[in-house]
Structure 1
Amino acid sequence: MTPPTDAAPDAAPGAAPLAARGRRTAVTGLALVVLAGAALESFLLPALPHLQRAFGVDAATGALAQVAPPLVTVVVTPLAGRFADVHGARRTLAVLVSIVTAGGLVSALAPGFPLFVLGQALQGFALGVLPAAFVVVRGLYSDEGIKTASGGLVALTVAGAGLGVLVAGPIIEATSRTVLFGIPTAVVVVGSVVFFASRVRLGTREPEGPTRVDWAGASTLALALLATVAWLASTSSAGWLAPATLALFVVAGALVSGWVLVERRVAQPMIDLDTLRSRAVGGSVAVGVGIGAGYASLVFLVPQQISRSVEESGLGAGATQTGFFLAAAFGAGFVASPLAGRAAARLGVRAVGVAGMLVLATGALVAAVSPAPAAIVWALVCAGVGAGSASTVAFSAAATGTPEHEVGVATAFVTIGRAVGGALATQVVASIVPASDPTGSGMPGTEGFRVAYLLVMCIALGGAATAMLLPKDAHRNAPTAVRA
């Protein structure tokens, strides 16, 4: 995420270095916030069993702490993007960072489990930083620079999530919950101080930009997303064809239709529906669904497979070993994302997006062919490279192919697409594996995993076809500035 060093033609002597230093400072602070926020989001998964014992709660109760952040995230992300578009990235980041900091402190210091769940819910605001960060990037970078910067942001989210998965267990076992959540919270605070200390100017308000938040549309969309999450949860607990599951599906569909009607009628919608149907934004959201579906389902299947005993064609991997395997995907994504941004600046977003999804499909095929440790690592590396590369171009296409007053909400929709696609595909493959058990012992058979991986490959190939919807390249729709 190296800022551009070009200055305006009429800039005074010395203005360019000062502006460049300000951009570097702003980007450094933003990077720390994104990295630490992603780590906070991922800490809970490996640490939850330990925390359940510490609080004296069972697994069903402990699951509340894991459910709360995603529920908050699906509601907050589009709102955060829209707030950044309307009120400016700086104000939006100030609010988000304050809430995330409060959530981290409550999680670190809560005397009881209910308050801890509240802290986790407040931490769910961390993902809302991402669309606001893209608004900042749009204001600081040229079109070509945005592609590289988008790769940097994606790499940071991958790195934060991977770091959280790797270190949460050792930290909670060696120290305490206070240290576990206190360290990343402190990094969020430091990053925000650095960002705001830069005092970088992101521009002035667009004359044609929105002046208020579409609360009717935002509320309807939030309800639609919550209904979608409830539907996906019901598929796991009650089954795909259960009356409650079908009812939630109908409710979610009706709310999405209602949101479309609201957006058509309000004077200042959350996002122009014509923009959402465009190749740059609509194509990016569709690709985001494919990325989430392919990547999330593959990294779900691998731990399920390798945790089986050697006699059951698994590896007998424990939690720590599983974390090391998954680190291959996180590390590959961290390296590939910024490189994909540079490649997109030369080759265009469509070419890199298609290539990324094909690499992801290759990883699923490798996992289907062989359960050997080397094959699993190679599959995860392909998953990280493919998902990181495709995510980079999806975000950059949405950020550069929409008017500046819709950058935040457009990138938020890409984030939502990845989350919904991942949740849906994970439920599908989770239902396939047990159904393929040839012994009836309750343990998923090797053939079930093979079928599931091949399905993931087909999903990724569909994502590659969807990436053809992206424009060959995305450009700014108007040379207007972003409100700071």
Structure 2
Amino acid sequence: MSAVPAAPPVRAGAVVPVLASAGITVALMQTLVIPVIPELPRLLHASAGSTAWAITATLLAAAVATPIMGRLGDMYGKRRMLLISVGILVAGSIVAALSSSLIPLVVGRALQGFAAGVIPLGISIMRDELPSDRLGTATAQMSASLGVGGALGLPAAALLAENVSWHALFWVSAGLGVVIFGLVLRFVPESAVRSGGRFDVLGGAGLSIGLVSLLLAISQGGDWGWASAPTLSLFALAVVAILVWGWWERRTSEPLVDLRTTARPQVLLTNLASMVFGFAMFAMSLVVPQLLQMPKATGFGLGQSMLASGLVMGPSGLVMLVTAPLSAKISAARGPKVTLMLGAVVVAAGYGVGSILMSEVWQIVLVSLLIGAGIGLAYGAMPALIMSAVPVSETAAANSFNTLMRSIGTSVSSAVAGVILAQLTINLGGYTLPSQNGFRTVLIIGAAAALVALAIAACIPTRPTANAPEPRTPAQAPA
């Protein structure tokens, strides 16, 4: 094994903010182009359906990269793979910034999506390097960065798009990536905890085919038709690919994802709760901006600009960041299971309030703050539950799989909300718009999903099931 690039000694006070900033930067990519999506057909001389790939490409690339980068991090070094991920983000941002047509933009956005492994890699580095008294708060902040970046990205991107140029979105993200790359080189050490072994190429290919097929069918099914041949074929391919992948992973000696570990009750139920929670979380991102920007002539719309709606959502990201240390304190005192359950209750309450209070901007701010607080609590608890149930040498892969489950939940949420808002509509001046009942239905479904996550979390075993047998391949130190 080649030598790991030298890094300075651990400085906990620097490692945590650097890794959290890296997570927020990567999460920004989720909402980066939302403010300019309506303008992309004109800017790129392409159809609206084609320009939707500016979001879809990032989603698909992230789904593929997250489990693969986690496994490679366990094998060859988490800091190394984190640097590679940030480097790909910078490259993708530059490609997108230089683009003036659809294909280069989609390629750039796909490269940005490949950086999604930064968050689980960062959590795993924290487990390896930080003292135990700092670990809970640090991993909670890192996990919450997934929601923080998405919330803060909307106002920042809207401000740039309205006052500079849409290309500036990508130049700024490239600049942030360069800064993060330098900070990781300077402050983040490489861990000696390795699983070794060989990369499971067939497992990576099988999981990639299954995930891409599933997420492509979910994201495009509304446009293609849920009963259309392409959609049904992709769902069928996803089922076959994932079943074959599972069969292979149980039989290979060095799997991409150790399904025996994943099947432990604490890991399995945490991942299921994460997927349902991801569904619940994304409902806010879909409803709130549309409700804020809906014309006042509808009788329920608030007539705000994209920038104003982004500013309304921005505080929820800050609340997630502030709530993360509280999540760690509750987990230390009562256990992460209790914290996850509490987060689900707060999110359900937020959606319940939102289904009633949606007629004033301050009401939307209150709802987004409640939901943001619940997300901060729950997302802070998830890595603690995962890490207490898996061997140290499988931390990155296990956290990556958990992040992937959240992403699948958000993708399903997007599809379900899209169908509901497309069916429950009103007509205004010849335009078809979502109705208030449509928004209310999505919010109620978000509350129900949070309660389902609560029920799943309640079944998580109280005692950690690991301190686990170490993996079959011994951990290796750098050569």
Give the TM-score normalised by structure 2: 0.88
In 2, Cα distance between equivalents of 1:472 and 1:149: 22
Amino acid in structure 1 at the alignment position of 2:447: M
In 1, Cα distance between equivalents of 2:173 and 2:71: 26
The change in CA–CA distance for 1:177 and 1:454 in structure 2 (over 3 A counts) is closer
In 1, Cα distance between equivalents of 2:375 and 2:173: 25
The change in CA–CA distance for 1:438 and 1:190 in structure 2 (over 3 A counts) is closer
- Partners of 1:155 and 1:335 within 8 A in 2: no
In 2, Cα distance between equivalents of 1:305 and 1:177: 24
Q: Give the unaligned 5+ runs of structure 1.
A: 1-17
Deviations, residues 373-409 of structure 1 (Å, cap 9, x unaligned) = 2332222112211122111211221133211222112
In 2, Cα distance between equivalents of 1:154 and 1:251: 32
Deviations, residues 240-262 of structure 1 (Å, cap 9, x unaligned) = 34444333322212211111101
From 374, 383, 391, the counterpart of 1:386: 374
**2:191 pairs with 1:202:** yes
The change in CA–CA distance for 1:51 and 1:436 in structure 2 (over 3 A counts) is closer
**2:167 pairs with 1:181:** no
- Partners of 1:203 and 1:483 within 8 A in 2: yes
- Partners of 1:31 and 1:156 within 8 A in 2: yes
From 328, 343, 347, the counterpart of 2:334: 347
Deviations, residues 64-92 of structure 1 (Å, cap 9, x unaligned) = 22221111111111100010011111221
- Partners of 1:27 and 1:195 within 8 A in 2: no
Aligned twin of 1:226: 212
User: CA shift at 1:278, angstroms?
Assistant: 1.6
Aligned twin of 2:307: 320
Aligned twin of 1:29: 18
**RMSD over aligned Cα atoms:** 2.6
- Partners of 2:87 and 2:181 within 8 A in 1: no
In 2, Cα distance between equivalents of 1:443 and 1:365: 23
In 1, Cα distance between equivalents of 2:375 and 2:159: 27
In 2, Cα distance between equivalents of 1:106 and 1:152: 30
Aligned twin of 1:449: 439
In 2, Cα distance between equivalents of 1:87 and 1:340: 31
- Partners of 2:196 and 2:476 within 8 A in 1: no
Amino acid in structure 1 at the alignment position of 2:97: A
- Partners of 2:155 and 2:309 within 8 A in 1: no
Amino acid in structure 1 at the alignment position of 2:440: R
User: CA shift at 1:478, angstroms?
Assistant: 6.5
From 448, 460, 466, the counterpart of 1:470: 460
Secondary structure, in 3 states, of the residue corresponding to 2:52?
A: helix
The change in CA–CA distance for 1:376 and 1:258 in structure 2 (over 3 A counts) is same
**2:118 pairs with 1:129:** yes
Aligned twin of 1:84: 73
Secondary structure, in 3 states, of the residue corresponding to 1:280?
A: helix
In 2, Cα distance between equivalents of 1:311 and 1:177: 29
In 2, Cα distance between equivalents of 1:166 and 1:413: 30
Deviations, residues 328-384 of structure 1 (Å, cap 9, x unaligned) = 432322222232122212211110001101111111111112322233222211221
Deviations, residues 307-336 of structure 1 (Å, cap 9, x unaligned) = 333342221223122212222432322222
User: CA shift at 1:203, angstroms?
Assistant: 2.6
Deviates more, 1:162-171 or 1:42-51: 42-51
Secondary structure, in 3 states, of the residue corresponding to 1:370?
A: coil
Aligned twin of 1:67: 56
Q: Give the unaligned 5+ runs of structure 2.
A: 1-7
Deviations, residues 408-449 of structure 1 (Å, cap 9, x unaligned) = 121111111111112212322332234344889844333333
Deviates more, 1:219-228 or 1:49-58: 49-58
Amino acid in structure 2 at the alignment position of 1:477: A
- Partners of 1:368 and 1:453 within 8 A in 2: yes
Amino acid in structure 1 at the alignment position of 2:304: A
The change in CA–CA distance for 1:226 and 1:483 in structure 2 (over 3 A counts) is farther
In 2, Cα distance between equivalents of 1:464 and 1:25: 35
Could you tell me the percent identity over the aligned residues? Answer: 26
Aligned twin of 1:295: 281
Give the TM-score normalised by structure 1: 0.87
In 1, Cα distance between equivalents of 2:201 and 2:255: 9
**2:94 pairs with 1:105:** yes
Secondary structure, in 3 states, of the residue corresponding to 2:434?
A: coil
- Partners of 1:148 and 1:341 within 8 A in 2: yes
Aligned twin of 1:431: 419
Deviates more, 1:217-226 or 1:194-203: 194-203
- Partners of 2:79 and 2:190 within 8 A in 1: no
User: CA shift at 1:144, angstroms?
Assistant: 5.5
User: CA shift at 1:163, angstroms?
Assistant: 2.8
